[in-house]
Amino acid sequence: MDKKFEVLPEHIAIIMDGNGRWAKKRGLERTEGHKVGAEVFRKICQYASDIGIKYMTFYAFSTENWKRSEKEVGKIMDLLRVYLGEMEEREEENEAAGYNIRFIGSREGMPEDIVTLMDIVESRSNDKDKIHINIAVNYGGRAEIVKSAKELAEKVKNGELQPKDITEDMISAGLYTANQPDPDLIIRPSGEYRLSNFLIWQAAYAEFFYDDILWPDYTPADLDRAIEAFLKRNRRFGGV
């Protein structure tokens, strides 16, 4: 393990933003930016694993992204198919790397073949624990909270739970990230300063790091800078 950091955030989340703008600046189709962005995702996963990060969550496709053009959405889904197929082919490589891969978000409305591939990738990495990688696909933070609230409401309806007994831990247990630590650090490249409906419950005490770099240009050195900035923060969690 690389010892460049004596202390590390346990969970880092990244909003992979700027693929389309990266392509436009180069006179390319927006989907070309998504292709390069997928390669950067792979490199950052490997680097995070190498230095000892235990949890990484990547925002890949939001519930709002369906509003993009049909052509772009179709190309993104095709790219996801290719990437999932490569994951399946790289099973031995991923196993050696110790990747535990989960797809967080709603499967509803997703193409059936993609959902099947997601299930295969998850099941084959389920027993790995060197690094847990969450890939947020068809994900929305508000929808995630609604999902948890509905599950608790159903328990109340069935007489299994009293409303007064509902706790924050119960809501957390109904989220896609149940049994995982909340993110310590949330990074957004591309020059935007929004959370964009990403991990809005889990981000309650996360530190934020914004960068002007477009995601396809993102490098391990950029992740280092974000970690270095995080380590200088004074995290009080509401205390003095």
* Distance in angstroms (rounded) separating the CA atoms of residues 29 and 11: 33
DSSP assignment of 219-235, as one string?
A: -HHHHHHHHHHHHTS--
- 110 Cβ partners below 8 Å, 6+ apart? 137, 138
Instruction: Assess contact for 35 and 20: CB atoms under 8 A.
Output: no
Locate 136 and state its tokens.
């947020």
Q: Is 94 in the active site? A: no
Instruction: Quote the strand ranges of 42-178, DSSP E.
Output: 55-62, 99-104, 131-139
User: Which residue in 2, 19, 50, 65 is the catalytic one?
Assistant: 65
For 212, other C-beta atoms within 10 Å of its C-beta total 10
Tell me the residue type at 205: Y
User: Which residue in 17, 182, 184, 211 is the catalytic one?
Assistant: 17
Question: What burial letters (b/e) apply to 80-111, b meaning 16+ CB within 10 Å?
Answer: beebbeebeeeeeebeebebbbbbbbeeeebe
Q: Is 126 in the active site? A: no
Where in the sequence numbering do the catalytic residues fall?
17, 65
